[in-house]
Amino acid sequence: MQSEDAIDLRRQLRLTWLLLTVVAVVFVWPTLRVWLGVGMAASGTPRTVTPRGELAEFEQSTVELFRTVSPSVVYLTTRSRIASPFSRRAIEVDAGSGSGFMWDEFGHIVTNFHVLQEASSAKVVLWDQSSYEATLIGGSADHDLAVLKINAAAAKLLPVAIGTSGDLLVGQAVFAIGNPFGLNQTLTTGVVSAKSRSIDSPTGRSIEDVIQIDAAINPGNSGGPLLDSAGRLIGVNTAIYSPSGTSAGVGFSIPVDTVNRVVPQIIANGRYAPPQLGVRVIAELSDAVTQRLGVEGVLIFHVVPGGPADRAGLRETVIGQSSLVRPGDIIQKIGEKTVRDMNDMLEALERHSVGQTVTVEYLREGQTESVDVVLQ
């Protein structure tokens, strides 16, 4: 016969197990069932979608901008002709890709000169994926601009609206549409980071008044449009500053004021010819004379007879048999732009047009003088 102590011990053990079971059910099982996935809805029903309401105003305007302008943006692929390693015949190979945009309703396409620099042929792909072989009309390497032409139905030729770049403000919103890495119809956004930057053109000559932006610009964006919030063209995307070759938040765009001056001449003449002052300059001689005199400017070596400078009375350099007899006038300012070297002088002239009258400030025998010159 069991003792009362043994019976009490068994009761206590049963009570202990009962308490442990209750604790496990209350505290351990909820965690365990979640871990095992038992806590998910048995039916696997998707979560209820929360309505988002209308797009924010800035989102809606961005959507509308892309919807309006993207049909004007094209994707360019180029091919180059090389000698076949297996025969003497020339073959065409893929050379690269880029972006462009429709300039007018006649099928003219604007892009960067460097996109086409090594190309023997180019194909233009439109927004609807239709493609056309393009004809090169001409270009200006000094401005990194080129013009192609395609023969497409009028309904597909949707020129982008033209804006201005002279009144841009740092911090102003900008939008870039292009084909980075061959991914066509890509939109990136940012702001004007700075103005009046200078970058080198394919010829090494500097392009002035360039727009700096932080919108992502990558290989393949070259030649695509930079737009303001009204969807107007304000620049042509041309370069990035990045050690890796990909976007680092520093992109550059040729200002539309330059584009709108250069492109019409390319369309009309196949090339761009800046207004002429009618003078010739020898850079080495100009540098030597200005350094000796301790002044800045461009020395006139020769005045073209009957040209604008000649009619205005500007003086050329006189050289004897072995020495400089009399230095010519030293141009120091054209219009509103200070002239320190040849690049400055060319840039100053390009701000004006043929037939326009500009004031030229120059140094003659130590005295600063000025005269009005009609450019040709």
Contacts of 279 (CB under 8 A, 6+ apart): 300, 301, 302, 303, 304, 307, 309, 314, 316, 331
Is 142 annotated as catalytic?
Answer: no
Query: ∠136-138-144 over CA atoms, to 5°?
Result: 110
Is 352 annotated as catalytic?
Answer: no
Is 114 annotated as catalytic?
Answer: yes
Question: How many beta carbons lie within 10 A of that of residue 153, not counting itself?
Answer: 8
24/26 Cα distance (integer angstroms): 6
Question: One of 108, 114, 143, 352 is an active-site residue; which one?
Answer: 114
Question: One of 72, 99, 144, 253 is an active-site residue; which one?
Answer: 144
DSSP state of 203: T
Within 240-295, where are the H helices? 256-269, 283-293
56/74 Cα distance (integer angstroms): 29
Question: How many beta carbons lie within 10 A of that of residue 232, not counting itself?
Answer: 17
User: How many residues would you count in the chain?
Assistant: 376
- Phi and psi (nearest 5°) for 285? -65, -40
Question: One of 97, 165, 222, 247 is an active-site residue; which one?
Answer: 222
Query: Which whole-number Å values give the CA distances from 133 to 42, 77, 107, 120, 126, in the listed order?
Result: 59, 10, 12, 12, 11
The catalytic residues are 114, 144, 222
